[in-house]
Structure 1
């Protein structure tokens, strides 16, 4: 489960993780269940955490009264640490609700419940992502992935066909056929941090090509349309930052 959580968060562009294992307090009146259960559950979580290879900090006294837990923390682009995911062991609720399952040998067994929070608050998670990426999301996550910018209005239909083709592949693509000058359009969409700007003029249309412009100002001219579509789809599929 921890491997899945880490893999999922990496898809969002987070890469720096550490774990905290919250353990029971020494005072018996602050937790329920047997010492045997606590030792077993804490040991199991510790082994799972160590198997990830991530830094692990053990924190006595921070567990819930009914079981130990692992918190996953991430460090953002400017070095701040955020607590995100939690895996919490809970034998209490299955006991209270008398939950049972039938084991392979036919015997009735009581399950252990695991509470899992992948993101915490989804609003807080996206706030963390916004700050981590400074708004420049990976292409797969960007609200607008591609915008077409014609050099002049005459080339809007040509770019419109390419935008429609991308949309048929599920790409969030738009055509900017507003009356703004081309340079203003480029400036606006660069500020909006759109991953791919596709620019086309007379030479591009004649060659069946487009020019890529990226958020950092780089430009790749004269890219055949088929290749351009493939590059965009591959960047989205691989969840790469561009």
Structure 2
């Protein structure tokens, strides 16, 4: 299926008169796993998911930083189900996509329904199959009272799909979650289940990607937040800044205590001036800077400063732990 329609976007190699292709997508391997044994309708739906690395030949002029690359890893899932189960599986995939967008702080997005254009020879399947697939996707969108735009000619060759495009802080649209209804590959690759009538029937495959290319997703996330990630996402949530090297042991003690709570904490023990350390931590957009001097060490406290420059004053170690944990729990 993919070879004839997608060959120009593949990396094709020839070794000892044998043709090899770098994996351009994860669907075939999931199909092979499904086909390792005969399946009954009682087993369905079966869902396979993986973080799979794929390779696609993109023209050099279209490559852009982390956003468009030739090798990338994506959160691919394929759901094998009966036609009757497909609407619920599509709705479940849509709910997961919406949950993930909200979790990562994307409040604005637009939904597109990608369908065939008038050149039907570019696509597999009958008109009836396409109408059934489009109907299932539209039903899921309407079930969540979402508006959508119909995009003629944007479908993949094996079926229609829902594309969700995020709007970042600059108002730019980025392709992210995709939910595809595939009735063609199961027929072409003989992907079946045994129905209640004891006869084999082709499954419906739902292709589901939530984050999409992780490289592209994280590139977009960096730009969306301008590097100032919410506390729960920040690689380093707090940094401890001792005023002098005499306080290094106290700084290490605080770090060890905070780490016990699952917080991501570092300590800057370099022999640099405090102002320099604070400036570097601000440039790295670390949410919390915990300054420790002789007074803080004697009182078993830390002086808390936010990356915004706001000074929260002295806090006990447990108090700052509780504050950061609250930020994390609230996805702040």
- On whether the aligned pair clears a TM of 0.5, the verdict is yes
Shift of 1:46: 1.0
Does residue 10 (structure 1) correspond to residue 137 (structure 2)? The answer is no
Q: Which residue of 1 aligns with 2:252?
A: 160
- Equivalent of residue 169 in structure 1, options 244, 257, 261: 261
Name the CA shift for 1:107/1:231 in 2 (closer, same or farther; >3 Å).
farther
Does residue 84 (structure 1) correspond to residue 176 (structure 2)? The answer is yes
Structure 1 segments unaligned to the other structure (5+ residues): none
SS of the equivalent of 1:199 reads strand
Q: Where in structure 2 are the equivalents of 1:66-81 lying within 5 Å? A: 66-81=158-173
Q: Which residue of 1 aligns with 2:128?
A: 36
Q: Where in structure 2 are the equivalents of 1:187-198 lying within 5 Å? A: 187-198=279-290
Name the CA shift for 1:233/1:103 in 2 (closer, same or farther; >3 Å).
farther
- Equivalent of residue 49 in structure 1, options 119, 136, 141: 141
Paired with 2:160 and 2:113, the residues of 1 have a C-alpha distance of: 7
Paired with 2:277 and 2:147, the residues of 1 have a C-alpha distance of: 46
Q: Which residue of 1 aligns with 2:114?
A: 22
Paired with 1:193 and 1:216, the residues of 2 have a C-alpha distance of: 9
Number of aligned positions between the proteins: 240
Does residue 60 (structure 1) correspond to residue 152 (structure 2)? The answer is yes
Paired with 1:105 and 1:167, the residues of 2 have a C-alpha distance of: 58
- Equivalent of residue 138 in structure 1, options 214, 222, 230: 230
Shift of 1:113: 0.8
Computed over aligned residues only, the root mean square deviation of the Cα atoms, in angstroms, reads 1.8
Shift of 1:106: 5.2
SS of the equivalent of 2:212 reads coil
Shift of 1:107: 5.1
Shift of 1:146: 1.3
Do the aligned residues in 2 keep the contact of 1:155 with 1:202 (CA within 8 Å)? yes
- Equivalent of residue 225 in structure 1, options 317, 321, 325: 317
Question: TM-score scaled by structure 1?
Answer: 0.91
Paired with 1:169 and 1:20, the residues of 2 have a C-alpha distance of: 42
Name the CA shift for 1:104/1:223 in 2 (closer, same or farther; >3 Å).
farther
Q: Which residue of 2 aligns with 1:181?
A: 273
Q: Which residue of 1 aligns with 2:303?
A: 211
Does residue 238 (structure 1) correspond to residue 330 (structure 2)? The answer is yes
Structure 2 segments unaligned to the other structure (5+ residues): 1-92
Paired with 1:188 and 1:136, the residues of 2 have a C-alpha distance of: 14
Question: TM-score scaled by structure 2?
Answer: 0.68
Shift of 1:104: 5.8
Do the aligned residues in 2 keep the contact of 1:22 with 1:60 (CA within 8 Å)? yes
Do the aligned residues in 1 keep the contact of 2:244 with 2:271 (CA within 8 Å)? no
